[in-house]
């Protein structure tokens, strides 16, 4: 999907990078490649959880005589609702991606050198393998860059790019390696070039809401009407909190991984959509590809020791999510993942999108649901939870009144969220977000819920 930008409140800064939505607070220090998470065991639990278990064994403070608050647990992670899964829809993936970097004559040689180095290195790293292997994508290799003698125009549309790329490949231009089932053309546009495109979200423009995108184009019958994927990487001086080269490689890593796992998103979607029960996550985050599902989260962007010079985005892992670990991989080393998941008891009809899991509440009424707290290891103390109407995060008036009986807890405990809808949202439903953090300025983890009537 496209790598875009929106404004938000709460724990987030006012500018977020998204890939159709994205991180607002990328980590900028080198952080070494993490494994599958910091999963703990009962034997590894520290005295902080053990003390909490002991202190509450005689009865935790309760929201009411018949309300279950659970209890701190040393079994990690504690039971919680199933997370979203990015589903396979039958299209191809790039099993052995061959990256073809393309540069224009009016580009900055310093950027050309750095981005060529980035494309040469990224596909052979543990970062790449961790992000892509579960989706059937292998190591990526890069060919020598195409150094064009033509200059990039100041303004062009995606339709123009498609026609231009078709001309190069249909004409068998000798400077261009011919495409095969694994080829991805990576089109780097220099500073000063603006690309426009149409999408389901309306007109869009690079570096004003878009940090990059990927798509495909169809060649002529002499080339078997082959669908050929490409990625457009503009040169944004800043994008959200990322600046200079970091802004470019952050977007490029997102698009390379998405193009490998969903190379033909318009015609033969592969990993491009969330499971039906969780489509509202895709609507909130702006897309259902593996990059989109993490780009909005505050800890999505960082530098890893296997690629220390370049900012990259962590992307969604179905396996890690199902195991109760951080769904955005590679995991950040030395961290314990924790979150608060609302228990959504109802099926909500969402016109145009099918039936999803949510909670049914009539406008003006209220209902209280459980919120399961879980972590994949000892958090060293309680973590805090806040609830937000998604409209509020987007700078709009809130449609939901949200109230938690407690604002913190441990793995295994249960909070209670009272929801009072005041107005219908788009499509007659409202989205809310639970954010879990531990203070000290550390960015929070998110879980998304749906309210309908």
- Whether the per-residue pLDDT at 18 is higher than 90: the answer is no
Q: How confident is the model at residue 200 (pLDDT cuts 50, 70, 90)?
A: low
The CA distance from 399 to 414, in Å, is: 25
Considering 27-36, 62-71, 119-128, the range whose residues carry the highest mean pLDDT is: 119-128
Alpha-carbon separation of residue 50 from 55, 247, 412 (angstroms)? 9, 43, 12
Per DSSP, the residues of 362-375 read -TT--EEEEEEEEE
Per mean pLDDT, which range of 195-209, 286-300, 340-354, 385-399 is the poorest?
A: 195-209
CB 29, CB 300: distance < 8 Å: no
At residue 27, does pLDDT exceed 70? no
What is the reported pLDDT for 1?
Answer: 55
Query: Coil, strand, or helix at residue 174?
Result: coil
Beta strand 414-421 with 367-375 is antiparallel
Residue 43 makes CB contacts below 8 A (sequence gap 6+) with: none
How much is the average pLDDT of 376-395?
Answer: 96
Structure tokens at 178: 């011919």
Structure tokens at 88: 């396979």
Check residue 66 and give its pLDDT: 58
Give the DSSP letter of residue 74: S
Domain-wise residue ranges, the chain: 3-13+18-28+86-315, 336-453
Tally Cβ neighbours within 10 Å of residue 116: 17
Once rounded to an integer, what is the mean pLDDT over residues 378-392?
96
- The pLDDT of residue 384 is above 60: yes
Helical axes 109-122 vs 244-261, angle rounded to 10°: 40
Contact assessment for residue 361 and residue 420, using Cβ atoms and an 8 Å cutoff: yes
Listed residue (273, 330, 290) closest to 89, CA to CA = 273
Q: Which of 40, 43, 51, 77 is nearest to 373 (CA)?
A: 77
**Residues 211-240: pLDDT tens digits?**
999 999 999 999 999 999 999 999 999 988
pLDDT digits (tens, 9 = 90+) for 401-450: 999 999 999 999 999 999 999 999 887 899 999 999 998 767 799 999 99
Confidence of residue 339 (pLDDT cuts 50, 70, 90): very high
Q: What's the CA gap between 118 and 7, in Å, rounded?
A: 29
| Ramachandran class of 209: left when φ > 0, alpha when ψ lies in -120 to 50, beta otherwise | left
User: How far is it, in rounded angstroms, from Cα 44 to Cα 279?
Assistant: 36
CB 399 within 8 A of CB 359: no
Q: What is the CATH number of domain 336-453?
A: 2.60.40.2310
pLDDT interval class at 23 (50, 70, 90): very low
Query: Can you give the pLDDT at residue 151?
Result: 98
The reported pLDDT for the residue numbered 128 is: 98
The 10s digit of each residue's pLDDT in 163-191 is: 999 999 999 999 999 999 999 999 999 99
Q: Which residue has the higher pLDDT, 44 or 11?
A: 44
Q: What is the predicted pLDDT for the residue at 407? A: 95
What CA–CA distance (Å, rounded) separates 167 from 136?
31
Rounded to a whole number of angstroms, the CA Rg of the chain reads 23
Residue 56's pLDDT is 37
State the CB neighbour count (10 A cutoff) for residue 54. Answer: 11
- pLDDT at position 185 is 98
Compute the distance between CA of residue 408 and CA of residue 413 in angstroms, rounded to an integer.
9
Report the pLDDT value the prediction gives residue 353, as an integer from 0 to 100. 82
Q: What is the largest CA-CA distance in the chain?
A: 78
pLDDT score, position 16: 30
Does residue 67 have a pLDDT over 70?
yes
% of the chain with per-residue pLDDT over 90: 78
In contact, 433 and 12? CB cutoff 8 Å:
no
Instruction: Look at residue 453 in the predicted model and tell me its pLDDT.
Output: 84
Mean pLDDT for 127-140 is 98
Mean pLDDT of the chain, nearest integer: 86
For residues 320 and 83, give the distance between their C-alpha atoms in angstroms, rounded to a whole number.
Answer: 10
Cα 96 to chain centroid, rounded:
23
């Amino acid at each position: 999907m496209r790598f875009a930008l929106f404004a938000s409140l709460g724990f987030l800064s006012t500018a977020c990078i998204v890939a159709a939505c994205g991180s607002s607070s990328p980590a900028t220090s080198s952080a070494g490649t993490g494994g599958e998470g910091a999963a703990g065991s009962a034997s590894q639990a520290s005295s902080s959880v053990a003390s909490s278990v002991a202190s509450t064994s005689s009865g935790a403070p309760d929201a009411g005589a018949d309300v279950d608050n659970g209890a701190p647990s040393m079994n990690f992670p504690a039971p919680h609702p199933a997370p979203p899964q990015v589903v396979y829809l039958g299209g191809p993936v790039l099993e052995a991606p061959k990256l073809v970097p393309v540069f224009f004559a009016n580009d900055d040689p310093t950027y050309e050198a750095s981005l060529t180095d980035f494309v040469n290195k990224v596909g052979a790293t543990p970062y790449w393998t961790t992000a892509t292997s579960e989706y059937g994508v292998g190591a990526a290799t890069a060919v020598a860059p195409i150094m064009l003698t033509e200059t990039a125009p100041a303004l062009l549309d995606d339709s123009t790019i498609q026609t231009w790329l078709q001309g190069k490949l249909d004409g068998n231009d000798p400077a261009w390696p011919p495409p095969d089932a694994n080829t991805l053309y990576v089109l780097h546009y220099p500073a000063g070039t603006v690309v426009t495109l149409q999408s389901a979200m309306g007109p869009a423009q690079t570096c004003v809401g878009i940090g990059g995108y990927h798509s495909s184009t169809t060649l002529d019958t002499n080339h078997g009407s082959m669908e050929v994927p490409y990625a457009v990487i503009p040169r944004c001086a800043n994008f959200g909190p990322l600046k200079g080269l970091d802004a470019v490689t952050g977007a490029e890593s997102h698009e390379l991984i998405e193009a490998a796992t969903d190379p033909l998103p318009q015609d033969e979607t592969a990993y491009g959509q969330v499971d039906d029960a969780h489509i509202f996550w895709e609507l909130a985050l702006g897309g259902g590809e593996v990059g989109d599902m993490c780009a909005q989260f505050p800890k999505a962007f960082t530098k890893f020791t296997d690629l220390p010079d370049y900012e990259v985005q962590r992307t969604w892992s179905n396996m890690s999510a199902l195991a109760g670990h951080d769904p955005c991989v590679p995991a950040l080393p030395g961290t314990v993942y924790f979150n608060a998941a609302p228990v959504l008891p109802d099926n909500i009809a969402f016109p145009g999108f099918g039936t999803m899991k949510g909670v049914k509440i009539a406008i003006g009424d209220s209902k209280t649901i459980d919120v399961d707290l879980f972590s994949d290891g000892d958090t060293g103390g309680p973590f805090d939870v806040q609830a937000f109407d998604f409209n509020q995060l987007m700078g709009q008036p809130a449609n939901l009144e949200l109230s938690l009986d407690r604002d913190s807890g441990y793995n295994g405990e249960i909070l209670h969220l009272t929801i009072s809808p005041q107005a219908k949202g788009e499509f007659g439903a409202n989205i809310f977000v639970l954010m879990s953090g531990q203070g000290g300025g550390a960015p929070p983890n998110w879980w998304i819920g749906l309210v309908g009537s």
